[in-house]
Amino acid sequence: MVPIAIGPAEREQIYAHARRAFPAECCGYLIGATECLVDGVVECRNAQEDGEHPARGADRGFVIAGRELLAFAKSFDGSQPARVVYHSHTNGRAYFSDVDQALARGPAYPVQHLVVGVTAERVTETAQFAWSADVAAYVEIARWTVEDTRGHS
Ligand SMILES: [Zn+2]
């Protein structure tokens, strides 16, 4: 499976969102007119913090809800549908957790997933996941280490 390309500008916006949301997990999605490239970031509010999902805290899950979920679902009927859903892990590690698998299972939407590992200091790594019908789960298809660029500007 080919990872949907995410350009440097979109990456920077996602990383900034992850740093801003810390210590909570951020979430959102990337839209694109074509199947292989995204060109817009839609930042969402992590509704996990509302406390309607008591099993998990904001640091261990994400929920897109309400108007934002409606806009996300409607995007699939438009010319720039959601292509990639992203969220952050505040332990600095990019992996698809059991909770992530459970939430994405189906797959409920035709999207890839990007997980961003972030710590109090910086974004550390990201990984991209796609649905595999063979194993009936999301599998990792790409991984990046994010260099610490502080002091190099
Ligand atoms: Zn996760």
In the numeric block, the tokens 């190099």 are attached to 152
pTM for the whole structure: 0.91
Strands (DSSP E) found in the chain: 5-6, 27-31, 37-38, 40-44, 82-89, 112-118, 123-132, 137-145
Q: What residues have a C-beta under 5 A from ligand 1, the ion?
A: 97, 100
Confidence (pLDDT) at 52? 60
Confidence (pLDDT) at 53? 59
Confidence (pLDDT) at 153? 42
Share of the chain residues as helix, strand and coil, in percent rounded to the nearest 5? 25, 30, 45
- CA 106 to chain CA mean position, Å: 17
Low-confidence ranges of the chain (pLDDT < 50): 153
Confidence (pLDDT) at 50? 73
Please count the other Cβ atoms lying within 10 Å of the Cβ belonging to residue 134.
7
- Centroid of ligand 1 to alpha carbon of 121 (angstroms): 19
Confidence (pLDDT) at 87? 96
The CATH architecture that domain 5-145 belongs to is 3-Layer(aba) Sandwich (3.40)
Confidence (pLDDT) at 29? 98
Confidence (pLDDT) at 56? 58
